Structure 1
Amino acid sequence: MALNSLGLDAKKTKEIAGDLNDLLANFQNYYQNLRGIHWNIRGKNFFDLHVKFEELYTDANLKVDLIAERVLTLGETPLHTFDDYIKKAKVPVGKNISKDSDAVHLIVNSLAELLKLERQVLDKAGDANDEGTSSMISDFITEQEKTLWMMNAWLGESI
Structure 2
Amino acid sequence: MKTTEKEINILGLPVKEAEVIAAELNILLSNFQVYYQNLRGIHWNIRGKRFFQLHVKFEELYNDAQVKIDLVAERVLTLGFTPLHTFEDYIKNNKLTVGKNISKDTEAVHLVIASIADLLKIERVILEESANINDEGTNSMMSDFIKEQEKTMWMMKAWSEEEI
Which bin holds the TM-score, normalised by the shorter protein?
over 0.9
- Secondary structure of 1:93's match? coil
How far apart in 1 are the matches of 2:13 and 2:90? Answer: 27
Map of 1:1-159 to 2, 5 A cutoff? 1=3, 2-156=7-161
How far apart in 1 are the matches of 2:142 and 2:118? Answer: 14
Look up the equivalent residue of 1:132 and give its one-letter code: G
How far apart in 2 are the matches of 1:92 and 1:131? Answer: 31
TM-score by length of 1: 0.98
Task: Map Cα deviations across residues 28-83 of structure 1 (whole Å, 9 max, x no partner).
Answer: 00000000000000000000000000000000000000000000000000000000
Look up the equivalent residue of 2:113 and give its one-letter code: V
Q: 4+ residue runs of structure 1 moved beyond 6 angstroms?
A: none
TM-score by length of 2: 0.95
The gaps in structure 1 that reach 5 residues or longer are none
How far apart in 1 are the matches of 2:29 and 2:105? Answer: 26
Give the CA RMSD over aligned residues: 0.7
Look up the equivalent residue of 1:21 and give its one-letter code: N
Structure 1 position 91, deviation (Å): 1.1
Structure 1 position 8, deviation (Å): 0.5
Pairs aligned (count) = 157
Percent identity of paired positions between Structure 1 and Structure 2: 68
The gaps in structure 2 that reach 5 residues or longer are none
